[in-house]
């Protein structure tokens, strides 16, 4: 019986040893897996950090571009305002000059009418030179009448 008892103990010890080897192999596999996961996790953290750095750099570039665009837009607004102001001033000057031209044209037409009336008062010998002068003045007054 002692023999059977020792044999049972040996078999039990062999089973425990096999179980221990299995557990040891499982532990090694889990340890390797855990180490691999830690490495992957560290690699992913580094990658996330790199991506965040790249995003920050891109954000700075976008901020710089946006600031430049805003400055250009503001300059465009200032230029447009200056152009409109200058254009309004030029329109006012042009209107003033047109009014002056119209006034001069009216005055010229009046002077022509007076000159024609006066030419009748001169003797016939002087009327030919006066009528030549009046013809030239009449050409200019015809042009002036277009503005009246």
pLDDT at site 54: 97
At 126, is the pLDDT very low, low, confident or very high (cuts 50, 70, 90)? low
Q: Classify residue 137 by burial, with Cβ atoms within 10 Å: 0-12, 13-18, 19+.
A: middle
pLDDT at site 147: 61
Q: Which two tokens stand for residue 102?
A: 């119209």
Q: Which residue has the higher pLDDT, 131 or 7?
A: 7
Q: Which two tokens stand for residue 145?
A: 């009448």
**Count of residues making up the chain:** 148
Please tell me the number of Cα atoms within 13 Å of 129 on its side-chain side: 4
What's the DSSP call for residue 122? Answer: S
Extents of the domains making up the chain: 9-147
Mean of per-residue pLDDT scores for the chain: 86
Indicate if the pLDDT at residue 1 is higher than 80: no
**CB-based contact 78:86 (threshold 8 Å):** no
């Amino acid at each position: 019986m002692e023999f059977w008892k020792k044999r049972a103990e040996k078999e039990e010890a062999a089973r425990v040893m096999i179980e221990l080897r299995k557990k040891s192999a499982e532990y090694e596999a889990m340890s390797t897996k855990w180490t691999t996961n830690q490495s992957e996790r560290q690699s992913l953290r580094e990658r996330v950090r790199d991506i965040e750095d790249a995003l920050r750099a891109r954000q700075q570039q976008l901020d710089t571009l946006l600031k430049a665009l805003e400055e250009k837009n503001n300059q465009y607004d200032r230029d447009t305002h200056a152009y409109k102001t200058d254009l309004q001033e030029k329109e006012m000057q042009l209107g003033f000059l047109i009014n002056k031209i119209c006034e001069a044209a009216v005055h010229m037409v009046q002077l022509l009418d007076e000159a024609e009336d006066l030419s009748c008062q001169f003797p016939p010998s002087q009327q030919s030179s006066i009528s030549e002068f009046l013809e030239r003045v009449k050409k200019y007054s015809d042009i002036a009448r277009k503005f009246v």
